[in-house]
Amino acid sequence: MTIRGLNHITLATTDLPRAIAFYTDALGLTLEHEWAQGAYLSAGNLWLCLSVEGHVSDVTDYTHVAFDVAADDFALTCTRLTKHGAKSWKTNRSEGDSFYFTDPDGHKLELHVGDLASRLAHISKQTVKGSQSCGL
């Protein structure tokens, strides 16, 4: 048995209408189905579930979800996110354009231009042995 890829992402929310508005209006995801305690949204092959919870955990480490965006759409999408209240949580230090932001529930997210091939090419150029990481 082999993992074929990422199946879906589930994020907790304390306010479903607010979360749906953020993910559809600011990020451009498509609302597929909504019910009292959650919603399914999509973007390409990504399936995102929003689940209503009484509280959302505060994660203080580097754990986050990164969304892929075309280079031509990066600046406009960053502007749209900021207009919808997205707050920056980290400055980009890796290859490729990235905007690290939080959603209204404080989930750490990233908008990234690039792919695994560009990240591997960048890492292979590093000359100091042991300095390779996930591109932080």
Q: Confidence class of residue 135 from pLDDT cuts 50, 70 and 90? A: low
Helix, coil or strand: residue 73: helix
Rounded Cα gap, residues 21 and 8, in angstroms: 19
Hey, how many other C-beta atoms are within 10 angstroms of the C-beta on 1? 3
pLDDT in tens, 47-95: 999 999 988 888 888 889 999 999 999 999 999 999 999 999 999 988 8
Per DSSP, the residues of 23-54 read IIIIT-PEEEEEETTEEEEEETTEEEEEEE-S
53 is catalytic: no
CATH number of the domain located at residue range(s) 9-53+61-124 in this protein: 3.10.180.10
Active-site residue, from 32, 53, 95, 110:
110
Q: Is the pLDDT reported for residue 5 higher than 80?
A: no
Hey, how many other C-beta atoms are within 10 angstroms of the C-beta on 20? 18
